[in-house]
Amino acid sequence: MDRILIEGLNIETVIGVYDWEREISQRLVLDLELAADVRPAAADDDVGQTLDYAAISQRIMDFAAETRFALVETFAERLADKLRKEFAISWLRLTVRKPGAIANAAAVGVRIERGKTQ
């Protein structure tokens, strides 16, 4: 199975467990791997036959704007579920990083995999 990549996608969302975090938007950085067979799209040079990473990226930004979670884990789980359902993605690996959350660390975050690669 082929993999479509979206790496280093910067989004803004309200996320955090502390009261002050619930009052501001913070940056998350996402990396995605999405299972897809890219051969039909490549043969016909047709974006309609593959996962449209521009549409997926926009959906992620919309999701981030409309949700508020305390945990990065919750954000990742709900986003993965939404993407798999809306774009018929059989398997994905999603990494969500929260830069600056811990002093002396570039970022903290989670990486999850959902579905089957066939």
pLDDT for residue 1: 86
Q: Is the pTM of this model over 0.85?
A: yes
Q: Are 80 and 110 in contact (CB under 8 A)?
A: no
At 106, the pLDDT band (50, 70, 90 cuts) reads very high
Q: pLDDT tens, 58-103?
A: 999 999 999 999 999 999 999 999 999 999 999 999 999 999 999 9
* Those residues with Cβ within 8 angstroms of residue 101's Cβ, 6 or more apart along the chain or in another chain: 107, 108
82 is catalytic: no
Closest CA relative to residue 107, chosen from 21, 15, 29, 9: 29
The C-alpha atoms of residue 12 and residue 108 are separated, in whole angstroms, by: 16
Give the structural domain span for 79: 2-115
CATH code, 61: 3.30.1130.10
pLDDT for residue 117: 79
Q: pLDDT tens, 25-51?
A: 999 999 999 999 999 999 999 999 999
Q: What DSSP assignment string belongs to 1-66?
A: -EEEEEEEEEEEEEE-SSGGGGGS-EEEEEEEEEEE--HHHHHHT-GGGS--HHHHHHHHHHHHHH
Q: For residue 14, what are the β-bridge partners?
A: 68
pLDDT for residue 49: 93
Number of structural domains found in the chain: 1
pLDDT for residue 113: 98
